[in-house]
Amino acid sequence: EAQVTQNPRYLITVTGKKLTVTCSQNMNHEYMSWYRQDPGLGLRQIYYSMNVEVTDKGDVPEGYKVSRKEKRNFPLILESPSPNQTSLYFCASSLSRPPAEQYFGPGTRLTVT
Amino acid sequence: TQLLEQSPQFLSIQEGENLTVYCNSSSVFSSLQWYRQEPGEGPVLLVTVVTGGEVKKLKRLTFQFGDARKDSSLHITAAQPGDTGLYLCAGARTSGTYKYIFGTGTRLKVLA
């Protein structure tokens, strides 16, 4: 089944403890992206990747890192999480650059205390 | 800075009514997409419009891209409870960047 998977689905952590949220797609998509969703703000793009080893900042990259060492994986790293990073995170992938259809993962709900 | 404003934010209507959701910006986009998101899931693409003035229909849903490619609308005819969800517009610029800008969202509830 073609899909985007994210892990974990739920995570509660403390300020400053490094964490990684994994994202994987099995559709051989070139474009991958991370978003955060907060009430009243819609989705905001954190980082995106056009292909392996090619990443670029979205609108809210501060406090996040990404890497794209393999085409199928695009992990999101929070090296020192803070409470303002408490949010619902979505990974998405598309066959090619915008406006190709994006397929979203199921989301990761992160709480930083 | 939020560049895509959606209105209304919330909408609660009776089954069978018509409604229109608006997505407005002061910026020009090369394309505009509409997504629907249900609780506990990621957004799912409904439509992509790329030409100014373009109109697309998907069953009871009609999507329009403004002539100047700065705004879009989603019209639902004879709404049904299955239309309930969060509707998001998303614009893309493809000159020098490949970012998406999402709208603030419209939460629609259709009552049976």
Omega of the bond leading into B8 within 30 degrees of 0 (cis):
yes
For residue B41, the distance in angstroms to the closest alpha carbon of chain A comes to: 5
d(CA A76, CA A43): 16
Using alpha carbons, list the distances in angstroms from residue B9 to A1, A97, B75, B106.
35, 29, 15, 5
Contact between chains at A99 and B50 (C-beta distance less than 8 A): yes
B positions 27-46 inside 8 Å of A (CB):
30-31, 33, 40-45
CB proximity A58 to B under 8 Å: yes
Q: What is the per-residue pLDDT across A38-68, written as a single tens digit (0 to 9) for each?
A: 988 889 999 999 999 999 999 999 999 999 9
Write out pLDDT tens, residues B27-84: 889 999 999 999 999 999 999 999 999 999 999 999 999 999 999 999 999 999 999 9
Given a cut of 90, whether residue B94 has pLDDT beyond it is no
Record: contact A42-B42, CB cut-off 8 A: no
Cα(B44)–Cα(B92) distance, rounded to whole angstroms?
16
For an interface test with B, give the residue of A102, A103, A108 to mutate (most B CBs within 10 A): A102
